[in-house]
Amino acid sequence: MDINSKTMKRIMLIACLLAGVGTATRAQVYMARTAHVSFNATAAGSPEKIEAVNNEVASKLDKATGRLGFQVPVKSFKFERALMQEHFNENYMESDKYPRAEFDGMVSNIADVNTNNDGTYNVKVSGKLTIHGVTKEVSVPGTVTVKRGQLVMSAKFNVRLADHKINVPSVVADKVAKEAVVTIESALNVVRK
């Protein structure tokens, strides 16, 4: 074994350590591709339920900075009634024009969440919510449940349809509520490629 190969081994060791550090930093980013978003916009006394679920939502959390993002493909909302789903896309959300709903914001108290300690943490989330092409600042309380390295984020909040210029014609005003109750659940894992 000559001196060169010893040097090389050291270099490799340092390189690997550096790579390891890199990986550790990288582990701060959590993602989910099949997060769930559902909403209920049934008006009180409506004979039919106006509700839908979406299981193709992408979400991302940077644990270091607290930045949190959601991307919701609008056409992936599934309704019990196919016709309602079509009208939702065609007339209310105009999903050809606005294919995605988005949230881009921050978890203000992300430091409270200890990923090494299983349990449920209350968090405060605020940021920009874009639905139907209209962006609005929102602030929402939620929870993060840590379980064996996985973060499950949950939140429930109301979205006023008028805030996002979603028009409800008067003939269905007794069926579609003015506010939709939105439920989010996202099981995020450390990004690995």
Partner 1 sequence: MRKASILSVALLCTYVTSFGQGGFMDDMNDSAATKKKEPVTATFKATRIINSSTVENLAHGVLDFRILHRFGRVSDGMENFFGIDNATTRIGLDYGVTRWLMVGIGHNTLGKTNDGFLKVKLLSQKAEGMPISLSYMAGMGLRGDKAPALPPGMDFLFTNRMGFVHQVLIARKFNSKLSLQLMPGVVHMNLVDSSKDDNTMFSVGVGGRYKVSRRVAITAEYYYRINNADMLAAGATTYNSLSVGADIETGGHVFQLFFTNSNGMTERVFINQTTDTWTKGHLHFGFNISRVFTVVRPKEFKKGAADKW
Q: Any contact of residue 169 with partner 1 (CB under 8 A)? A: yes
Instruction: Report CA dihedral (128, 130, 133, 137) to the nearest 10 degrees.
Output: -40
Q: Any contact of residue 71 with partner 1 (CB under 8 A)? A: yes
- Out of 42, 43, 46, 75, which residue is the one contacting partner 1 (CB under 8 A)? 75
Phi, psi angle pair for 113, to nearest 5°: -85, 115
Q: Any contact of residue 162 with partner 1 (CB under 8 A)? A: no
Question: Given the rule CB under 8 A, which of 27-35, 110-118, 134-142, 157-165 is the region that contacts partner 1?
Answer: 27-35
DSSP 5: H
Angle at 169 between CA 42 and CA 37, to 5 degrees: 40
Instruction: Kindly give the residue spans of alpha helices, DSSP state H, lying in 62-150.
Output: 82-87
Q: How far is the CB of 162 from partner 1 (least distance, A)?
A: 17
Rounded Cα distance between 149 and 190, Å, is 8
Q: How far is the CB of 181 from partner 1 (least distance, A)?
A: 14
Of 133, 129, 77, which is closest to residue 104 (Cα–Cα)?
Answer: 129
Instruction: Considering only residues 81 through 120, tell me which ones interact with partner 1, judged by CB under 8 A.
Output: 81-87, 89-91, 96-97, 99-100, 102, 104
Q: Any contact of residue 44 with partner 1 (CB under 8 A)? A: no
Distances (CA, A) of 145 to 2, 55, 72, 117, 118: 54, 19, 22, 10, 7
- Out of 6, 12, 112, 160, which residue is the one contacting partner 1 (CB under 8 A)? 12
Rule CB under 8 A: which residues touch partner 1?
Answer: 5, 8, 12, 15-16, 18-19, 22-23, 26, 29, 31, 33-34, 36, 48, 53, 55-60, 62, 67, 69, 71, 73, 75-76, 78-87, 89-91, 96-97, 99-100, 102, 104, 169, 171-172, 175, 185, 193
